[in-house]
A and B are shown apart, each in its own frame.
Chain A
Amino acid sequence: MARIRVVLDFPKWLVEQPVTCRLIRDYDLEVNILKAKVTPREEGRLVIEVSGKKKSLDKGMDYLKDIGIRVTPLAQDINFQEDRCTHCTYCVSLCPVGAFDVDRGIMEVTFDKEKCILCEQCVKICPYKAIRIQF
């Protein structure tokens, strides 16, 4: 069993395609949608967690790329810049999944990339711009 988190960028003409269904049906994968968004220009962005056999996973991802979807591993997408973070703890209670943690003794903040679902809340609200999403 393998598990990955990926960001799928759909061009306009693919937004309506039932790609997650096909991943589940044709490639025998488990798909968990973490976030879905259609931009004003009607391009789509889906953040999903996919798990299944390593081989099926690779094939599933190849299928997505073949039909014209850009597939980026999620981990590369969010960037916590420690030198910009002041450990104010402001983001900690605003992150919906608890990706930030505080060592309450010294009040320092750490970030767990694995938990992040790319909701972009912290990217908007961090007063020091310590979190960036990179495309």
Chain B
Amino acid sequence: MPKTISEINERIKKGEAVVVTAEEIIDLKEEKGVKKIVEEVDVVTTATFGPMCSSGAYFNIGHTKPKIKIGGGRAYLNDVPVYTGIAAMDIYIGATALPDDDPRNKIHPGEFRYGGGHVIEDLVSGKDVRLVVSAYGTDCYPRRTLETLINIKDINEAVLLNPRNAYQNYNVAVNTSGKTIYTYMGLLHPNMANATYCSSGQLSPLLNDPLYKTIGIGTRIFLGGGIGYVYFWGTQHNPGVPRTDKGVPRCPAGTLAVCGDLKQMNREFLRGVSMYGYGVTLAVGIGVPIPILNEEILEYTLIRDEDIYAPVVDYSEAYPYGKGEVLGEVNYKDLKSGKIVVQGKEIKTSGLSSYAKAREIAGILKDWILKGKFLLTQPVAPFPGHESGYKFRPLVERR
């Protein structure tokens, strides 16, 4: 019999809900069979943890005396430039921002030791961060400069606001050229000597709800160790890609835009990332609960690593020049085993996202729900689906 979200929430409040992780549900199916689990299980928890460049946070710093207008001026947090094109005391820091004097790739490959992602990690860790402002001064905001330490516990709002996270599937990166390359998918040795991947596979949120039947605008989630929300579909959301007969995309597809109170989060699940020769970013931990409303939704959550395929893409040529060529398809079971075979060649693999952290998050979210601390939500509006015609388009340059 189909369930509703409010019925599930009633059971959560009474401490009666049955919650399992997306990994546990696979074993449960072997034990009990689909018919039985759809009646018994209320929620399946999914999760991911990995570098997600389209991330950042905004803050309201509080007014100084006399007042200063950061808006339209320049500001830095630990030497990392922040976006000031909003109101007087609001600033936004992006995960990939670098200090003005960082040498970047001038001496290639650059180290990228500290940037926006690290500032966010320092803030959630409770460390003081140095704010330096230069403003132009107005009659109502006369002050021109400010240099002070700030701490997350003293400022007004601190909100994580990420326009694109939790990619539904991702490329496997290799390098077919003759020289080492440094990419956002890590260091890739020449002649396909290694491959990197970045998805939590069978635990990944959007791979457990491939057609966006339960995840939508307004969905309450685990974000960075606290509670967050899906506020929109993510940028580059691309639902119309080729899919398996079970609806699972065979390449990067849907994405989530998420936000949440940074003050509740912690550094276990929000970490500054330095990609050698590439840049800085933020690793984000996300957990999404899937309400088991009917058998169809349950079937999607039974997905296993061996049923999820990812395209192998050459990051020396096909990716940078947008050629769209794929060298082959591999599944996540093989990727996680440490080696794959592409065009007859055995290649060592390593991850960039952490499956171990994803497991931990799925476990924590399960625990929150079991303890009645986390209730499920009905989306306010759905995402554009696979048949909507909604597409991720390239830029057409014109003059």
Question: Which residues on A are within 8 Å of B, measured CB to CB?
Answer: 86-94, 102, 104, 106-109, 124-125, 127-129
Q: For the side of the interface on B, what is the size category?
A: 20 to 34
Is B352 in contact with chain A by the CB < 8 A criterion? Answer: yes
Is B157 in contact with chain A by the CB < 8 A criterion? Answer: no
A125→B348 CA distance, assembly (Å): 16
A108→B356 CA distance, assembly (Å): 6
Q: A91-B350, A93-B350, A107-B336 are in contact. Are A128 and B355 (CB under 8 A)?
A: no
Q: A-side binding surface: helix, strand, loop or mixed?
A: loop
A26 to chain B, nearest CB (A): 41
Q: A94-B194, A104-B337, A127-B51 are in contact. Are A88 and B274 (CB under 8 A)?
A: no
Cβ-defined contact, A127 with B351, below 8 A: no
For residues 24 through 52 of chain B, which have their beta carbon under 8 Å from a beta carbon of chain A? 49-51
Is B214 in contact with chain A by the CB < 8 A criterion? Answer: no
Q: Nearest CB to that of A103 among chain B residues?
A: B356
Cβ-defined contact, A94 with B350, below 8 A: yes
Q: A89-B350, A90-B196, A93-B348 are in contact. Are A107 and B186 (CB under 8 A)?
A: no
Q: A86-B49, A92-B350, A129-B274 are in contact. Are A106 and B356 (CB under 8 A)?
A: yes
A94→B186 CA distance, assembly (Å): 10
A88→B111 CA distance, assembly (Å): 19
Cβ-defined contact, B338 with A127, below 8 A: no
A63 to chain B, nearest CB (A): 37
Is B55 in contact with chain A by the CB < 8 A criterion? Answer: no
Cβ-defined contact, A125 with B356, below 8 A: no
A94→B272 CA distance, assembly (Å): 21
A85→B365 CA distance, assembly (Å): 21
Cβ-defined contact, A90 with B352, below 8 A: yes
A92→B350 CA distance, assembly (Å): 7
Given contact pairs A94-B194, A124-B111, enumerate 7 new A-B contacts (beta carbons under 8 Å): A86-B354, A87-B355, A89-B351, A90-B196, A93-B348, A127-B275, A127-B276
Cβ-defined contact, B276 with A124, below 8 A: yes
A87→B355 CA distance, assembly (Å): 8
Contact of B357 among A87, A91, A127 (CB under 8 A): A87
A113 to chain B, nearest CB (A): 20
Is B217 in contact with chain A by the CB < 8 A criterion? Answer: no
Specify which chain A residues have a CB less than 8 angstroms from the CB of B272 in the assembled complex: 128
A124→B276 CA distance, assembly (Å): 7
Is B162 in contact with chain A by the CB < 8 A criterion? Answer: no
